[in-house]
Structure 1
Amino acid sequence: MSYDLVLLPSGAAASPAEVDAYLTAQDGRQAAEAVTEVAAELDRRNAALPEVDAFLGAPAADGVLGGALFVSTPYDAIGHTRNLLFELGTPRGYAVWDPQLAWLADPAGAVAAAVTHGGAGEFPYLTKELVDAWIPELGQPGPYLIAETGDQVYIQTYRHPDGHYDLEYREGSADKHFAATCGDARIVADLIWGWATGDRSGFETLDWRQLTF
């Protein structure tokens, strides 16, 4: 079995229904130069690897559809392939759509960060839409999310089986490392996004304690 990922222009859609409408409208349209270039580079990199290490389930060039690019990848190469789509697509103004999880990673309005999703791997930026989708669904085997924007500058959360969250943030030094707990996924998502955008106005909703080690 394979896993599908899709590149589409940033801003072309903001919901699963809009993604479907955009992709349907691409049928029969001339291939866009940007996705043609990305497909060629994916095929080049894939061909340079031993067959056992291949990350494409089918030639990427076959997945070009108008302004979109459909990429098929083995399950054990999902993270690698998605990272390549970010690497090649983001500078060209493209978003990454995951149709299995209905996640749209669009660089428009994103905050650059080293993001680790415990169940899905690494992402190069954070958006409000992704945070809102991720936080309520965190679960085993990796029910955590970390967003780091600098050396020892990060926010992270862990969702417990009963649904409550541990939340921590650190601003670069041990005396600026705080923790709290919260039972509301929406509050956690809002605080993570607020932290990423420099808005701390909502932090007073929780009882923070300084961490000491």
Structure 2
Amino acid sequence: MTKPRHAVLEGTRIPRLQNPDDSRIEAAVRTLARESVVVLSETNDDNTYIQVWQRPDGLYQLEHRAGSPLEHFQTVTVSADKVHAAFTAWLDNDEGWADPFTWKPISELF
């Protein structure tokens, strides 16, 4: 079994919080306002994270980066439940956390 990550939760309307529990993550995702962002990043590595932005059209733009700019990916979903599940599974280091989505690389944007 893989060890959970040590992480920091922060966002547009969320103060920085070390090692958030599931209820804090769920609240951050469910109360996300349009054009706001929530980021969950590894404590000692700002280049390894999962983040979500609720676009003006209401869709959730989910991104993750696994260290380098070449490992930056994006997907879109209508489901806050799926975003919450992805954040929680990512934090738990669940190997299949990204499987429910179709990801596209966006490294060329950086």
- Provide TM-score, normalisation by structure 2: 0.81
- What code does the residue aligned with 2:95 have? R
Q: Which residue of 2 aligns with 1:126?
A: 20
Could you say what secondary structure the match of 2:99 adopts? Answer: helix
1:83-94 aligned at under 5 Å gives the runs none
Runs of 4+ in 1 over 4 A off after TM superposition: none
Report how many residues are paired.
103
Contact map agreement 2:5 2:93 (CA 8 A) in 1: no
* Percent pairwise identity: 22
Equivalence for 2:54: 159
Alpha-carbon distance in 2 for matches of 1:151, 1:144: 15
Structure 2 portions without partners, runs of 5+: none
AA at the equivalent of 1:194: A
d(CA) in 2 for partners of 1:133 and 1:121? 13
Is 1:203 aligned to 2:79, yes or no?
A: no
Give the SS at the match of 1:116.
Answer: strand
Contact 1:111/1:126, CA 8 A, preserved across alignment: no
- Quick one: distance in 2 between partners of 1:126 and 1:162? 28
Q: Conserved in 1, the CA contact under 8 Å of 2:64 and 2:72?
A: yes
Instruction: Pick closer, same or farther for the CA change 1:160–1:113 going to 2, 3 Å.
Output: same
* Alignment partner, residue 88 of structure 2: 193
SS in 1 for 2:28: helix
Match of 1:138, as an amino acid?
L
Alignment RMSD, CA only?
A: 1.9
Which segment drifts farther, 194-203 or 176-185?
194-203
Higher share of residues assigned strand: 2
* Correspondences of 1:63-212 after superposition (within 5 Å): 112-139=6-33, 143-149=36-42, 150-211=45-106, 212=108
5+ long unaligned stretches in structure 1: 1-109
CA distance in 2, matches of 1:184, 1:160: 13
Question: Would the aligned equivalents of 1:111 and 1:127 in 2 still touch at CA under 8 Å?
Answer: no
The one-letter amino acid of 1:113's match is A
The alpha-carbon deviation at position 120 of structure 1 amounts to 2.6
**Which amino acid in 2 is paired with 1:193?**
T
1:32-47 equivalence runs, <5 A: none
Structure with greater helix percent: 1
d(CA) in 1 for partners of 2:90, 2:76: 16
SS at 1:186 equivalent = helix
